Structures are given as C-alpha cells and as structure tokens.
Amino acid sequence: MIIEPDKPQFIPYPTGLLRLALRAPLTLFRLGLGDVMNLLRLMILTTRGRKSGEPRHVAIEFRRHGSVIYIISGWGNRPDWYKNLLADPLVTIQLGRQRMSALADRVTDPAEALRAVNLFRRDAPARYDAVLGRLVDDEVNGRKLPDVSHQFTIIRLNIIADEPVLPGLRTDRIWLWPAALIGLVLLVTLLGQSGKNRQEGS
C-alpha cells in the first residue's frame, strides 16, 4: 500500500518549457535510444491514468538493487505518475529494450529509504547532495543523510514478471534516423555544389 507523504517539496513544480524539456527523454526513447537512456539510468515508467484508464508514460531516473528498482519523486506527491500509482500500483517499466511488470510501493522504512538514497548518491555525492537538499529544504551530506532520508518520496518497484501488463512506450520514430541521414547528405551535397558554383563564377 502506498502512503502519501505530508512533507511539502521545495523544488518548483515544472511548467511550460521546463515541463516540455522533462518530456524530451520520451522522444529519445521513441527514436530508439532506450539503451543509451538505460546507461544513463533513465527508464520509462508506464502507469494507468487514474481518470482515463489509459497508459501514461514518464521518463524517470532509477537505481536497481537486485530485483527491486527505486525511484525518487522530485515533487513529493504532486506528479501525475505518483497519483496514478496510488490508484493502481501495477506498472510497466522499460530499461532499454527490456520490458517488465512491477508493483509499486512507497518506501516507509527509514533503513530502506537510506539505502535507496545512497544508491542514487553513490556515483556523484556532491551533485546528489545538492539536489536532495533542495527536496527537503535542508543541507544534505553523508553524515546527515540518516536523519533526513525518511523525508524523501521514494518508490520501490518490485519486478513481478517479464511480460508487461500495461503496454509500454513504442520505438515508433526510429525511421527518423535514416531520414535525418539522407537530409544531411543532401544538405552537404547542396552546400558543396553551391561552393563549387561560386568558385566557377569568380
């Protein structure tokens, strides 16, 4: 069961261009760059819309610990994907080309919360401490982390099957790569021809 946090978050909720920028990884995935995103620890999370019942996709940073995947909400209980999880915790996750079903649950145990946060900050502690500090409006460092880790909105995704229940995001724009390559070749050819014509005219 997921319990909503009561602690407000201190990073402004994304709107306008920032919201659009945060959706850019979905386009990259649709272009066939899911494996690159996986290397960057970005996955596609598919939830069922709590009002529409339709699949809803979001790209989100993750950390994996065995058969468990952790994600942290930068905006507490405000994101639609989080509200969707409250209504239906069965989700589809996509790590590169791999699709799996999982059950979502909010982490409430302080020891598990600390372990999850440490998974995120292990590679770049200074960078993550700065970001995590914004989430709780307090200074965060390795010594202070045990005292504040329970304040983060951390979701545990327990992998339950290889076959997803919800349809994942499709790589339906992969055809743009050859189209872009053809366009680039045509542009280089035209520029080369234009330069040659200028030299002949002078």
- pLDDT digit string, tens, across residues 143-193: 888 888 888 999 999 999 777 778 888 887 776 666 667 777 777 777 777
* pLDDT score, position 11: 60
148: tokens are 């504040």
What is the pTM assigned to this prediction?
A: 0.78
* Residue bearing the bigger pLDDT, 109 or 136: 109
Which of 137-147 are b and which e, b meaning 16 or more Cβ less than 10 Å from the residue's Cβ?
A: eeebeeeebee
* pLDDT score, position 141: 81
* pLDDT score, position 156: 97
* pLDDT score, position 6: 47
- pLDDT digit string, tens, across residues 3-28: 444 444 456 666 677 667 778 888 88
200 φ/ψ sector (left φ>0, alpha ψ -120 to 50, else beta): alpha
- pLDDT digit string, tens, across residues 17-56: 766 777 888 888 988 888 989 999 999 999 999 999 999 9
Please count the other Cβ atoms lying within 10 Å of the Cβ belonging to residue 9: 20
Query: 31 to each of 23, 75, 99, 198, how far by Cα in Å?
Result: 13, 28, 17, 38
Rounded mean pLDDT of 103-121?
A: 94
* Residue bearing the bigger pLDDT, 121 or 178: 121
